[in-house]
Amino acid sequence: MEQAGTGLQSKYSQLINAAKTSGVTNLQVREQANVLYIDGEAPNGQVKDSLWNTYNSIDPDFRSGDLIMNIDVSANAAGSTARVSTDSSNLNIRKGPGTDQPIVGKAAHNSTVTVVSQTSDQWWLVRTNNGEEGYAYAQYLTVE
């Protein structure tokens, strides 16, 4: 085991093991500047959702700021279509399920997105036509 990453890798061992056992491919775990990076590709939206739930159970509300999870869902995963039903503005797409998560993209008013997973009543995992993937507030999505 690497000496450099033992602290954060131990803290997040449950998350790393969950990624390994849930079928995440191209899994890469590295530590840089006291931040642990977990990268890979999930087979479906439910796997990505469960990884975020595990992350939240270890670090409630993602407050520590010592982990960056870059897990995307395979582009081949099935999904339904939803229309962005904001009043007039773009819909923010966020890295994780929460308004405190960084914005990774936007979906235009009245455009369509692919719903990869209906994570919760509030947050859905979506992918734009440009391939941007993240969580959007479900209130502004209407399934077609």
- What architecture does CATH give domain 6-73? 2-Layer Sandwich (3.30)
Distance CA 16, CA 12 (A): 6
The confidence score (pLDDT) of residue 74 equals 81
Distance CA 47, CA 74 (A): 11
The confidence score (pLDDT) of residue 61 equals 85
The CATH number of domain 80-143 is 2.30.30.40: yes
As to burial, measured by CB atoms within 10 angstroms (0-12 exposed, 13-18 middle, 19+ buried), residue 26 is exposed
The DSSP-derived string for 34-92 is TEEEEEEEESSHHHHHHHHHHHHHHSGGG-S--EEEEEEE-TTS--EEEEE--SSSPEE
Domain with CATH 3.30.70 in the chain: 6-73
Token digits for 123? 């947050």
Consecutive 10-residue runs of the chain (144 residues): their mean pLDDT? Answer: 66 96 95 94 92 94 91 81 93 93 94 92 92 94 88
The confidence score (pLDDT) of residue 2 equals 41
Domain with CATH 2.30.30.40 in the chain: 80-143
pTM above 0.75, yes or no: yes
Give residues with Cβ within 8 angstroms of 25, minimum separation 6.
Answer: 40, 41, 43, 74
The confidence score (pLDDT) of residue 130 equals 87
Backbone angles phi, psi at 85, to 5 degrees: -115, 45
For residue 15, the tally of other CB atoms under 10 A from its CB is: 24
The confidence score (pLDDT) of residue 4 equals 46
